[in-house]
Amino acid sequence: MSNPEIISELSAISKSVAAIPRVNVFSVPTDYFNTLSNSILHTIHTELLFKPVTINLNVGEVPEGYFEGLASQIMNKIRDGKESLAEETKNISMTVSKIGNRNVFTAPEGYFESLSEVINLRIPQPARVISMKKRTSFFKYAAAAVITGLIGLSVFTVLDKKESGHSNKESLAVMEKASEIIKNKTFDLELRNVSDKEIEQFLTESGQDVNAALVASVIDESNLPATDEYLIDDRTLDEYLIKLNLNN
């Protein structure tokens, strides 16, 4: 209250009432005043179009130009005078239309800000597809390492030109096992039973380059070790892989 005359008048009547803070306790929907004029004009258009022109109608007489304007009036109503949802509801039920559509529910603070992140975390990511083509020439070296590891012997394959001092008996056992795998085509099955750790361990114990066994995940060939660091010579390995139907 800013008017001193009114403040003084009130204090003279009641000091208690004058002491009450003059605060507006009511709230109004967001944007209400921004849209009010449009809403009122729409109602006016609708009402005017529905109401007949106030004229004195004698029998057989119509206002001048009445029919000329009638069609455009109706078309305007059809084009522009579409009932708003509020108008439609009001026409059906005044009681229901008075209820309004103010949202009575609340969402937790920050809910919408973090929602997209939460949803994204729940979306299962598609499995990463790694092209095998580039790895072909090196995959066979890894396959060879796995094959030798599959047999589960601590000796290296007979095809490893670097190795020496292993008995023929042991090498023969390896070959026999390998042949069995080829014959039964259980390569995939055997491979599933061997973990990456076992392959690494085998290669380490064999004094081989562990990284060679991990070539399956390397896409860029330029990062791979030189071929002479691998276990097996190409020709023998190729023969082996042909039998296994892995040499693509």
The distance of closest approach from Cβ of residue 102 to another protein in the complex, given in angstroms and rounded to an integer, is 8
Interface stretch with another protein, choices 24-32, 154-162, 174-182, 218-226 (CB under 8 A): 24-32
Size of interface with another protein, in residues (CB under 8 A): 32
SS3 content of the chain, % helix, strand, coil (to 5): 60, 0, 40
Residue 20 within binding range of another protein, rule CB under 8 A: yes
**Nearest partner of 213 among 193, 189, 228, 197, judged by Cα:** 197
Q: Smallest gap, in angstroms, from Cβ of residue 92 to another protein?
A: 16
Residues 47-86 that bind another protein (CB under 8 A): 47
- 24 vs 168 by CB, closer to another protein: 24
Residue 28 as a binder of another protein (CB under 8 A): the answer is yes
Going by C-alpha positions, the residue among 180, 183, 143, 181 that lies closest to residue 159 is: 143
- Long-range contacts, stretch 188-196, CB < 8 angstroms, 24+ apart: 190/150, 191/146, 191/150, 193/150, 194/146, 194/149, 194/150
Based on the shown chain and the rule CB under 8 A, indicate whether residue 39 belongs to the binding site for another protein: yes
- Distance, in Å, from the CA atom of 32 to the CA atom of 40, rounded to the nearest integer, reads 12
Which is nearer to another protein, 101 or 248 (by Cβ)? 101
Per CB under 8 A, 107 contacts another protein: no
If one asks whether residue 44 binds another protein (CB under 8 A), the answer comes out as yes
